[in-house]
Amino acid sequence: MPRITLELLRKRSEHNEGMVSTLEEIALHQEEIEKIEVIGTLCRKLRILYLQNNIIEKIEDLTHMKDLRYLNLALNNIKKIEGLGSCEFLEKLDLTVNFIDVDTLE
């Protein structure tokens, strides 16, 4: 199972000299990632996060991402919108082509 690891984050943050703690934008699309993990604690300054075209089923581990403005989770396997309560500055959420159960929307 491909995972979000410190090594992957550093590889995708070459534009920031591999410094993940100060990253403001990262693209982790098309990595076959199944779960959002560690990114919330390692990349707290992120404003833009691209996770489209993976196989993520659940929105999670975003608790520490207070500055997140744009989250792209298009083309995943998300069924329920949850786990975004701490993202108080989130302006755009892309969930295009997922499997959202509209009966769970409030």
Which range of residues forms the domain containing residue 83? 1-106
CA distance 49 to 32: 16
pLDDT at residue number 51: 98
CA distance 15 to 3: 21
pLDDT at residue number 106: 63
Tell me how many domains the chain contains: 1
Stated as kind and residue range, the H or E segment containing 8 is helix 6-11
Strands 48-50 and 25-27 come out as parallel
pLDDT at residue number 103: 75
Q: Which residues pair with 71 in a beta bridge?
A: 49, 93
Q: 């929105």: which residue's tokens?
A: 59
Residue 64, classified by CB atoms within 10 Å of its CB into exposed (0-12), middle (13-18) or buried (19+), is: middle
pLDDT at residue number 47: 97
34: CATH: 3.80.10.10
pLDDT at residue number 59: 93
Q: Are 54 and 35 in contact (CB under 8 A)?
A: no
Compute mean pLDDT per 10 residues along the chain, 106 residues long, and list them. 92 90 96 94 95 95 92 96 90 96 72
And the tokens for 99?
A: 């499997």
